[in-house]
Amino acid sequence: MQSAAEPLIQPAEKAAEWWRGAVVYHVYPLSFADADGDGTGDLAGVCDKLDYIASLGVDMVWISPFYRSPMRDFGYDVADYCDVDPLFGSLADFDALVAKAHRLGLKVVIDLVFSHTSDEHDWFKQSRQSRDNSKADWYVWADAKPDGGPPNNWQAVFGGPCWTWDARRQQYYLHNFLPAQPNLNVHHPAVQEALLEAMRFWLDRSVDGFRMDAVNFMMHDPALTDNPPVTTPGKRTRPFDFQHHFFNQSHPAIPQFLSRLRLLAESYGDRFLVAEVGGERADEEMKLYTAGKDRLQSAYSFHYLYADELTPQLVRRGMEDWPEDEKGAGWPSWAFSNHDAPRSVSRWAKGRDRKAFAEMGLFLLMSLRGNAFLYQGEELGLPQAHVPFDRMRDPEAIMNWPLTLGRDGARTPMPWRAAAGSCEGPEPWLPMDPAHLALAVDLQEADPGSTLQAARRALHWRRTLTGLRTGGVRFLDAPAGVLAFERGRGSEAVLCVFNLGSAPAAFRIPPGWRIIERVNAPGVEQGLLAPLAAIFAVR
């Protein structure tokens, strides 16, 4: 840590683009904070905890869906884009949340799920009634094959074919996820206009941006061409894994619609749009959807979220794919954990000290070039929670049990108090893992050596040092298992060193650098870098 005798590092200048290099705190509202005591989180609970979020030093908060929904996929099946589900509160609660966040200096980003809706959305209810009503073509409908089978071989993410038969229309409808999540026909001009109106509704309520869910699933191949099989497969847990998804997603017209979203957002001022992009062509599509000045500002993939191991090669490959001098290139975002993936500590620690790994991981995340997404509880070092099979809620986990960890273990309640957990009163919608109570916020707030306090230090340097926030990257030679790079140049340069391995490594800080922060690095002055060490140094 910097001593009182050392000169202070000057705070980073405010970037012209406030979102560039920002840290985003991701809230999954069902599990974050329960204000009304019904066992599920709500918007009033998020509002109550905004002071805590602001105290971390983040720039904005992203809130997963809270729209009206039957909760088949826990909010990602939207029944009304322009209202709050009573489970989460009301529009007045949302307005109060945004107002308080802005008073605290926090931007607010919300999810837009534009690839599909719930089958209980009024649009779908009308669309399925006939083939000639005003919304008949707002979803993707197709006739059966002569033998009665589905129109093609497309497979859904959550298992089984992408097609479900509807007796009313005597046709199949497309769903890339659950049958209860029919795909919108975003090729249709009227659908695009309706989605733009939904976006405008929330811009009028002063949101600062949007996280665009499943962007590359927004448009399909209208010819319904069969997907080719994967000829050199890796791990397969679902029928989805047997195909290259060239035609049920990733249509070339998607960027044009993204440009319309960007144009609308910018009519409200400096707003931020970030895409979620998954799949085998994610790196290519992240760049496509953020290229130039008329598409989205940023995108993130599952580069880290589905990685089995954290290695120097993984980090280097991710950052080198976004060179700072590439003309017209967009700006990446990175997440180690979120609501869709098992928590990083459980995926990557592999028998090592979880606290040390969590702290090293926080410093690494804050050193990456791009925006950093911090998932609720990540600042506490939470591992993946154990959820018994009879308490599982995630349809993907239930379908693939026991082959995958599923998403429930990353969605359990936030442990605010060691004594009571997140919710007092009714049993929470997912069980609290007792192991999380030992990592509760109240305990870590009182412990200067806690992971939470380490997270605040990492975030402090991210905000303070221009090199960490927006600087370029230059990788240095380092021993096996050690990752070393510089962020920024000249007086703004920051040296970042991490031992991702399981053994000490011989490594000395190069001459001319002064260590300003370290975790798990007691012997670095003697040329020994301990496992899971992290170091920040400046000139």
Enzyme catalytic residues: 213, 276
- CB of 201 closer than 8 Å to CB of 81: yes
**Cβ burial, residue 143 (10 Å; 0-12/13-18/19+):** exposed
Query: Which residues lie below 8 Å from residue 269, measured CB to CB, with a gap of 6+?
Result: none
For 534: left if phi > 0, alpha if psi spans -120 to 50, otherwise beta; the answer is beta
Name the one residue in this structure whose structure tokens are 């990540």: 378
Token representation of residue 350 = 């592999």
- CB of 278 closer than 8 Å to CB of 199: no
Smallest CA-to-CA distance from 339 within 276, 257, 416, 288 is with: 276
C-alpha Rg value of the chain to the nearest Å: 23
Q: How far apart are CA 229 and CA 215, in angstroms?
A: 23
- CB of 331 closer than 8 Å to CB of 371: yes
Smallest CA-to-CA distance from 423 within 414, 410, 436, 411 is with: 414
- CB of 421 closer than 8 Å to CB of 413: yes
Query: What are the C-alpha distances in Å from 469 to residues 26, 95, 284, 312, 443?
Result: 19, 30, 24, 20, 30
Packing angle of the helix pair 451-464, 354-365 (nearest 10 deg): 10
